[in-house]
């Protein structure tokens, strides 16, 4: 029984999907973020769009452009998951590869260890949801998952920084550790479809926003502002309205 039709319609709104995509495109293009490349071992800004492909031919990586594309697909993945559509989890599997490469180039070299974990957890969500996982209330396992994620996050991020280098100041590593730890807990909770999954993502998006401001990834800054709003609304939808049947999905689509 839907207790809050307005919240459910907001979560399932295609207009909100388009708004999120438009925000990323407008802000990134207005800030010329698409002109950012990774070339000769460092990030370079201000590469004119007309010169971009020639630079790619010389070995440059179109970091800004792929960040924007990755941010858009990641946003759509999150929106679909909120709608309880397993396609969102499948897109998350694919975007974890792109996000890991970009995070590494922006200085987070522990991404070599952390993003394969995200890849596996997103794959677990695809499997569990496909098997008919239903929304459930929190229990002891939820709290254990949350604590494990934070501890595991710190351990893996610091190990990755020690083994592979990259940015090594403690403020940056702490932020990365917390975000990864929250994502581990969030992805595990998502696989089991806990109501509080979106509470995890509220914390996660807040810290990710700080991290991406620190590394100047403008595409992700915009994305995580939108994600905060989306996570709050979806949390209320899952808690108040629960699972959605295929009939209700069809009705909302129409």
pLDDT tens per residue, range 152-186 = 989 988 888 888 777 777 887 888 888 889 989 99
* DSSP-assigned letters across all residues of 37-66: EEETTEEE----HHHHHHHHHTT-B-HHHH
Residue of higher predicted confidence among 194 and 30: 194
% the chain with pLDDT above 70? 95
Res. 123: pLDDT tops 60: yes
* DSSP-assigned letters across all residues of 167-204: ---HHHHHHHHHHHHHHHHHHHHHHTTBTTHHHHHHHH
The pLDDT score that the predictor gives to residue 142 is 92
The pLDDT score that the predictor gives to residue 187 is 92
The pLDDT score that the predictor gives to residue 46 is 82
The pLDDT score that the predictor gives to residue 247 is 43
Res. 79: pLDDT tops 60: yes
Res. 56: pLDDT tops 80: yes
Q: Tell me the residue range of the domain where 194 lies.
A: 5-253
What's the token pair of residue 116?
A: 């394969």
- Are residues 205 and 148 in contact, defined by beta-carbon separation less than 8 angstroms? no
Alpha carbon distance 187, 145 (integer Å) = 10
Res. 59: pLDDT tops 90: no
Q: How confident is the model at residue 234 (pLDDT cuts 50, 70, 90)?
A: very high
The mean of the pLDDT values for the chain is 86
Residue 83, classified by CB atoms within 10 Å of its CB into exposed (0-12), middle (13-18) or buried (19+), is buried
- 3-class SS at 13? coil
The pLDDT score that the predictor gives to residue 108 is 73
Mean pLDDT of 118-135: 93
Count: domains in the chain: 1
Q: How confident is the model at residue 250 (pLDDT cuts 50, 70, 90)?
A: very low
Residue of higher predicted confidence among 78 and 246: 78
């Amino acid at each position: 029984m839907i207790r809050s039709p307005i919240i459910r319609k907001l979560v399932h709104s295609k207009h909100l999907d388009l708004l999120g995509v438009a925000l990323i495109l407008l802000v990134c293009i207005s800030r010329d973020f698409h002109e950012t490349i990774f070339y000769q071992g460092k990030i370079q800004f201000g590469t004119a769009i007309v010169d971009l492909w020639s630079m790619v031919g010389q070995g440059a990586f179109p970091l800004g452009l792929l960040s924007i594309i990755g941010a858009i697909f990641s946003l759509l993945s999150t929106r679909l998951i909120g709608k309880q559509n397993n396609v969102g989890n499948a897109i998350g599997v694919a975007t974890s590869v792109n996000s890991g490469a970009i995070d590494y180039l922006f200085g987070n070299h522990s991404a070599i260890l952390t993003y394969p974990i995200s890849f596996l957890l997103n794959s677990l969500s695809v499997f569990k949801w496909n098997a008919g996982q239903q929304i459930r209330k929190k229990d002891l396992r939820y709290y254990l998952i949350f604590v494990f994620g934070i501890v595991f996050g710190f351990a893996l991020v610091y190990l990755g920084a020690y083994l592979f280098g990259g940015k090594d100041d403690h403020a940056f590593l702490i932020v990365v550790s917390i975000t990864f730890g929250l994502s581990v807990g969030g992805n595990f909770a998502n696989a089991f479809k806990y109501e509080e999954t979106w509470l995890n993502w509220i914390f996660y998006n807040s810290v990710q926003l700080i991290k991406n401001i620190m590394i100047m990834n403008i595409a992700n800054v915009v994305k995580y502002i939108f994600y905060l709003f989306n996570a709050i609304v979806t949390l209320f939808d899952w808690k108040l309205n629960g699972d959605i049947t295929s009939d209700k999905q069809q009705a909302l689509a129409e």
